Amino acid sequence: AQSVTQPDIHITVSEGASLELRCNYSYGATPYLFWYVQSPGQGLQLLLKYFSGDTLVQGIKGFEAEFKRSQSSFNLRKPSVHWSDAAEYFCAVDPLTLGRLYFGRGTQLTVWP
Amino acid sequence: GAGVSQSPSNKVTEKGKDVELRCDPISGHTALYWYRQRLGQGLEFLIYFQGNSAPDKSGLPSDRFSAERTGESVSTLTIQRTQQEDSAVYLCASSSRGSGGASTDTQYFGPGTRLTVL
């Protein structure tokens, strides 16, 4: 079945530590890929997106993600986490032209001071 | 407006009642999407409007769910005879996606309506 998998439901890191959130997808073609962040009481905000070209994508708030076709992965990274990064992170895919996004279940990030 | 707005922000209803949820997309955005987010889960696609084309209703979970959109503006999601399993946050998004072809346009999300069915 086609799906988006975020294997980590909850991750805890210390402020200043590096972060990697995992995302795998199972669609035949290379879909468009997105990472969104959802803070408490707020709507989803787009962090970054990949359509084609350079497989390392830079986003807002110091985040980046790398598309690896061989692994069907699109992992989100940040070299140094800030306390304000505590939120829920969603990976999403658009399997080309469908006009809808398929979301993973999300990863809740807790940041220790 | 500056962003996607949704109303009400919270709705509590009794099982069996009908509810209407409203979405005001970003002005000029031709595409509008509804998603549902159940507790502890990711977003599920419900329905998609693109301009004057027939909506993509493939994500609606049952015939109790329906949605309308007036031109390229406001959309209303209606849930009839609500059930407890309908309790969720309902999110609306809009984008400037053109008709036909692959989309590279970002979807901008509203804050959602939290629906609780007692």
Q: Is the pLDDT of residue B100 over 60?
A: no
Which residues are CB-contacts of B24 (< 8 A; sequence separation ≥ 6)?
Answer: B1, B4, B5, B6, B7, B73, B74, B110
Closest residue by Cα to residue A25 from B58, B105, B42 = B42
Q: Is residue B33 part of a domain?
A: yes
Query: Is the backbone peptide bond immediately before B8 cis, with ω within 30 degrees of 0?
Result: yes
Distance CA A79, CA A63 (A): 8
Residues β-bridged to residue A68: A73
With bands split at pLDDT 50, 70 and 90, how would you rate the model's confidence at B34? very high
In this prediction, residue B22 has a pLDDT band, given cuts at 50, 70 and 90, of very high
- Chain A nearest CA to B96, separation (Å): 11
Determine, yes or no, domain membership for B9: no
Residue B41 confidence (pLDDT)? 81
* pLDDT cut 70: percent of chain A above it: 95
- Please report whether residue B4 resides in a domain: no
Residue B78 lies in a domain: yes
Q: Encoding tokens for residue A21?
A: 């959130």
CATH number at residue B22: 2.60.40.10
Q: Which residue of A has its CA nearest to B30?
A: A99
Mean predicted confidence (pLDDT) in A59-73: 95
Q: What is the pLDDT of residue B39?
A: 86
> In chain A, what are the domains?
4-112 (2.60.40.10)
B104 close contact with A: CB closer than 8 A = yes
Please tell me the distance in Å from A81's CA to the nearest CA on chain B.
23
Question: What pLDDT is attached to residue B97?
Answer: 66
Q: What is the mean pLDDT of residues A42-54?
A: 89
In a domain, B103, yes or no: no
pLDDT bucket at B101, cuts 50 / 70 / 90: very low
Statement: residue B104 has pLDDT above 60: no
For residues A5-28, one letter each, b for 16 or more C-beta atoms within 10 angstroms of the residue's C-beta and e for the rest, the string is: ebeeeebebeeeeebebbbbbeee
Residue B36 is assigned to a structural domain of this protein: yes
CA A47/CA A33 separation, integer angstroms: 11
Tokens of B11: 């709705």
- The total number of structural domains in chain B stands at 1
d(Cα A90, Cα B102) in Å, to the nearest integer?
22
Which of B45, B97, B106 faces A49 most closely, judged by CB atoms?
A: B106
Host domain of residue B30:
18-98
Q: How confident is the model at residue A94 (pLDDT cuts 50, 70, 90)?
A: confident
Residue B118 lies in a domain: no
Q: Is residue B114 part of a domain?
A: no
